[in-house]
Amino acid sequence: MQKKRRPFLLIVIFFAAILAFLSFWVIRQNSIRPGESLIVHNVVVSTELDDKLRLTGAVSRFSYGTRQVCLRFDYGRAAEGSEIRILWFMGEKLVQADTYSLSAPSGSKIYCLVRENGQSLPRGSYSIGILSNLERLPDFRFEIY
């Protein structure tokens, strides 16, 4: 009688292990959903780009005469084909807003504020907002003095 129970017991243990593994896997997949909470990190606001299109000289104050200010950041947990909206404000006034697609779940992006006529950006306090899935991340601020 013992020999007949052993295969049955092994089958029960095998299926219990598979069920436990699948349960943990489903919980893990449902707890980290790409796109629900986009992660933005390594944020840099600067006016200078190096030869590899990386921002250098990051500060929060730029002297008058600056023609462009760029935002660079790394991101993660983006859903496939998701979009972000970059909002540039001077004081309380929206001066530029663009929507961009994120083609990969993680990566790096650079966006710049440039006047179309090539003139210097006006003096004042600026902020940059990032909007993802109707969730607005904290603003990044800089000043042109």
93/26 same-domain check = no
134/85 same-domain check = yes
55/119 same-domain check = yes
20/57 same-domain check = no
Output 95 or 7, whichever has higher pLDDT. 95
18/53 same-domain check = no
The answer on pLDDT for 73 being more than 70 is yes
Tokens found for residue 108: 């790096």
CATH of the domain at 76: 2.60.40.10
pLDDT at position 34 is 45
51/107 same-domain check = yes
Which range is most confident: 15-19, 24-28, 29-33? 15-19
**Which of 140, 143, 105, 136 has its CA nearest to residue 122?**
143
* pLDDT tens digit sequence for 74-120: 888 888 778 899 999 999 999 999 999 888 888 888 899 998 888 99
126 class by beta-carbon count within 10 Å (0-12 exposed, 13-18 middle, 19+ buried):
buried
pLDDT at position 95 is 93
* pLDDT tens digit sequence for 28-66: 554 445 445 788 888 889 887 777 666 666 678 888 988
Q: How many helices (H) and strands (E) does the chain have?
A: 1, 11
**Prediction pTM value:** 0.68
77/130 same-domain check = yes
Number of domains in the chain: 2
